[in-house]
Amino acid sequence: MGDHTAKLILDVKNLVVRYETEDGIVHAINGIDLQLGYRETLGLVGETGAGKTTAALAMLRLVPDPPGVVECERLTIDGRDILNMPSAKMDDVRGKDISMVFQDPMTALNPVFTVGEQIAESLQIHEHLDKRDAMKRAREMLELVGIPGSRAGDYPHEFSGGMKQRVVIAIALACNPKLLIADEPTTALDVTIQAQVLELMTTLKEKYDTSMIMITHDLGIVAEVCDVVAVMYAGHIVEQGTLEDVFNRTKHPYTEGLFNSLPNIYNRTAMLKPIKGLMSDPTDPPPGCPFEPRCEYALAECKTRNPDLVPAGPTHKVACLAYEQEGFHIKRRI
């Protein structure tokens, strides 16, 4: 491992994930690079099916196999080689160094164990606490996420959706992980609860110096919590940079489309401008740029050549052939 990984909590190089099903091979992730510094928050943005969740699962080595096949040049977390780690050791990393908050709190908790037991389990595994001490810490964790510790003996069905998500967050943070992956943590929640949960996560992240990957399709959330952003489309990263880069100096037509499909608060009567069409079939990806069929700037060459992610500024990268033309710029609505 080179020197550059030492300063990174996460270093992923050329990650490829495909699902080999009976109906064909699903190309979920087609070679992505991700790097994240300590205490930074990365926003992984893209529409459903872009490969965001699969990318997260691959980092935890939890892609179901079969049918999943993961290939990667480098995958390190906190300088440790995750890729070649024996599975028994992987159990020590999961929940301790890296943990995950899942999208749907309704199904993420085991219905037959109390929430206290579910939080305590992770402390018993990683901190080797006995049951009583672990339960005591579990009650403290509940208090930390804003649930009275006395409810540790209750079962998931006795909690509301927002409270369940707080429990899931408590489980993920119980052993103070170095990297927290939050997979659309607020998508299944009420709008009013969303803000609360988000604020809770950012406060706890600050408090414990945790690095975070926020997977979302909500650009508002990205603006609020992220330092760096990677925009994913059809298993590729199409634009990457600091929050400033991606939000204020948008380069990729797909990113532009994402912004344009947001409601405009200054002109409430304006129609939403969705991106036309659907994402290409992942079992049969087009030979050229995957966004070409939906792209209004598409050139003839885009049909045959898939662009590389190339620098577009000191911290900014974009994968779009149109920039090879002199003076090309997108006409993003601000």
Residues lying near another protein in the complex (CB under 8 A) are found at: 60, 62, 87-88, 91-96, 99-100, 102, 104, 107-114, 118, 121-122, 125-126, 155, 157-158, 168, 171-172, 174
Closer CB to another protein, residue 104 or residue 244?
104
Minimum distance of another protein from residue 122's CB (angstroms): 4
Q: Which residue number, 95 or 288, has a Cβ lying nearer to another protein?
A: 95
CB 15 to another protein: min, Å: 18
Q: Which is nearer to another protein, 168 or 289 (CB)?
A: 168
Give the residue among 181, 177, 185 at the shortest CA–CA distance from 208: 177
Residue closer to another protein, measured from CB, 56 or 279: 56
Phi, psi of 220 (to 5 degrees): -60, -45
Report the residue number, 57 or 219, with the smaller CB distance to another protein: 57
Give the alpha-carbon dihedral of 110, 70, 294, 185, to 10 degrees: 30
| Nearest distance from C-beta of residue 10 to another protein, angstroms | 16
Minimum gap (Å) between residue 151 Cβ and another protein: 14
**Both ends of the chain: CA-CA distance in Å?**
43
Q: Strands 74-77 and 80-81, how do they pair?
A: antiparallel
What are the counts of helices (DSSP H) followed by strands (DSSP E) for the chain?
A: 10, 13
Instruction: List Cβ neighbours of 173 (8 Å cut-off, separation of 6 or more).
Output: 99, 141, 144, 145, 180, 204, 208, 210
Cβ atoms of 294 and 301 within 8 Å: the answer is no
